[in-house]
Amino acid sequence: MLVVKSLTVRFRRHGAPSLTVLEGLDLAAPRGAVTGICGASGAGKSLIAAAIAGTLPRNADVSGRILVDGAPPSRGGIALAPQGLDALDPLATVGAQIARFARLADRTEDPAALLPRLGLAPTVAQAWPHELSGGMARRACLATALATGAGWLIADEPTAGLDAAAAERIMALLGTLASDGYGVLVISHDLPRLAAVAGEITVLQEGCAVETAPASAFRGNGEALRKPFARRLWQAQNVCPAC
C-alpha cells in the first residue's frame, strides 16, 4: 500500500512569501490496482508525482508523510514515467537507456526481454527515440521505469499527445501491469480513459483533493459524485468520451 498523508508542497520565492501548490493531500493506493489522480491543468497533478518520486526542485519545501507498506519508500522502490517524452535521451538507443536505468538500480535487465511485455518488438531496443511514434515512446518511458525493478510505477499524463487508439492502448497496458502485481498511480487529465482502468480516482482542484471516489462513480452524468466540481469535470469530458 502506498499511503500519502497530509502532503503539502510550498515553493520558496526570493523576496516574496512561499507559494503553496499542494495542501493536505491524503491518498491510499493498493498494489495490484490502478489508482488515479485527475484534475484540470495547473491543479498540481504532476507535482504529486514529483513529490512521491523525490524529484521536486530544490526550492520546494515538503511536509507530510509518504509510506510504502508502512515505511518510507526505499531506494528504487518507486519509479516515475514522466510526462515529457524529452525524458528519453536522444543520443542513446532505447535498449541503452533501459540498461542504464537498470544499472542505476544495481540490476541487469535484458531490453529485448522487457520490451515485449509492453507491446514493443525486441528490435525496438536498437531504435533511437526520434524513430518512435508517440505511443511507442510512451511505452519506452515505461520500460525505463520498469527496468529499475520498482514495485510502484507512477505514470504522469501517459496519454498526453497521443491519438485515441494509442491512448487506449497505453491505459490498457497500465491496467495489465497492475494485474501483474504492480502498484500503479496514474496522473492524468484524461478522466474517461482513467475511469475505465482505475479502481479509485482522486479529483484535484487548485492543489487540494476535493473528492476521492470509486471509478464506478464516473458514469452517466456523475450522479454518484458528491462534489459539484468533480461532477462538472466529469461532465465536461464525458460529452465526448474519446476526447
Q: What residue spans define the domains of the chain?
A: 78-150
Closest CA to 233 of 207, 216, 214, 210: 210
Report the 3 state secondary structure along 75-136. Answer: CCCEEEECCCHHHCCCCCCHHHHHHHHHHHCCCCCCHHHHHHHHCCCHHHHHCCHHHCCHHH
| Digit-coded pLDDT (tens) for 193-226 | 999 999 999 999 999 999 999 999 999 999 999 9
Closest CA to 150 of 81, 82, 85: 81
Lowest mean pLDDT of 55-59, 72-76, 125-129, 234-238, name the range.
72-76
pLDDT at 242: 43
104's CB contacts (< 8 A; 6+ apart) are 148
pLDDT at 243: 40
* pLDDT > 90 fraction of the chain, expressed in percent and rounded: 79
- pLDDT tier at 68, thresholds 50, 70, 90: very high
pLDDT at 239: 58
Query: pTM of the entire structure?
Result: 0.91
Residue 66 one-letter amino acid: I
Cα gap 243→121, rounded to integer Å: 29
Section 94-110 average pLDDT: 92
